[in-house]
Amino acid sequence: MSYTISTRTFALAIAIGDQGVPLQEVKALIDSVMLDAGVMPEVATYQEVDQRLLSPISAGGYDTVLGYLARNHHAQYEDYDDIATETQRHGFWLTDRCLKRGLEVIKVPAPKVLRDLGIEEVNSYPISLLVERFGD
């Protein structure tokens, strides 16, 4: 399990794995870290990220469409009737922009939810381009 913790000034993600650490314990740890950093914990928001939506391998500064949406725009991908088709549609736009700008597209193993549909590999894109497409 992974939790993403955000404030207005920074975002912090902690991978908990499959250890089953309760969200309340994660919140307490993050609150402590945030206080040490001079950020008031009450401005933080907590969002649990479903690991089935994340690629098991990612390159620094890159993410997949589904991984980025799961971490940053949870409600958007939940509205998809066909998750493979919808993420592929965004992928066409992102790949086109990468080619036009000379940016690398990196192949990574598909997240579990797509592997269950028979998709073994997906593209990952520069996070800056994902932000351009979907927002922060």
Whether residue 41 sits in one domain with residue 57: no
Residue 112: CB atoms within 10 Å: 15
Query: Is the pLDDT reported for residue 98 higher than 90?
Result: yes
Residue type, 7: T
pLDDT tens-place string over residues 35-52: 777 766 555 555 666 777
Residue 90: give the domain boundaries. Answer: 52-134
Cα 53–chain centre separation: 8
Whether residue 117 sits in one domain with residue 59: yes
pLDDT tens-place string over residues 52-95: 777 777 778 898 888 888 877 765 556 666 777 888 889 999 99
Query: Is the pLDDT reported for residue 108 higher than 80?
Result: yes
Residue 86 or 30, more confident: 86
